Amino acid sequence: MERDCLRARCESRVERLLRAIGGLPTPWDINEFCDRLERYRGRDIDLVPVRWTVGDSTGFWQRRGDRDVIGYTENTSGVHQDHIILHEIGHLISEHRGRCVLSAEEARQRAPHLAPAAFAHLLGRVSAEAEEDEAEIIATMVLARIARQSRRGRTRRGRTLDPRTSAALNRVAAAFDDR
Residue bearing the bigger pLDDT, 119 or 6 = 6
Q: Is the pLDDT of residue 109 over 90?
A: no
Task: Put residue 53 in one of left, alpha, beta given phi > 0 → left and psi -120 to 50 → alpha.
Answer: beta
- Chain centre to alpha carbon of residue 81: 8
For the chain, give the mean pLDDT: 81
Displacement of CA 179 from its chain's centroid (Å): 25
Angstrom distance (rounded) from CA 68 to CA 47: 9
- According to DSSP, residue 154 is labeled B
CB 68 within 8 A of CB 91: no
Q: pTM to 2 decimals?
A: 0.72
Range among 13-17, 73-77, 173-177 rated most confident? 13-17
Helix (H, G, I), strand (E, B), or coil: what is residue 31? Answer: helix
Residue with more model confidence, 109 or 62 = 62
Q: What one-character-per-residue DSSP string does 72-130 give? A: EESSS-HHHHHHHHHHHHHHHHTT--------HHHHHHH-TTS-HHHHHHHHH----HH
Edge-to-edge strands, sheet with 44-50:
44-50, 67-73, 59-63
pLDDT digits (tens, 9 = 90+) for 23-71: 999 889 999 999 999 999 999 999 999 888 887 788 899 888 899 999 9
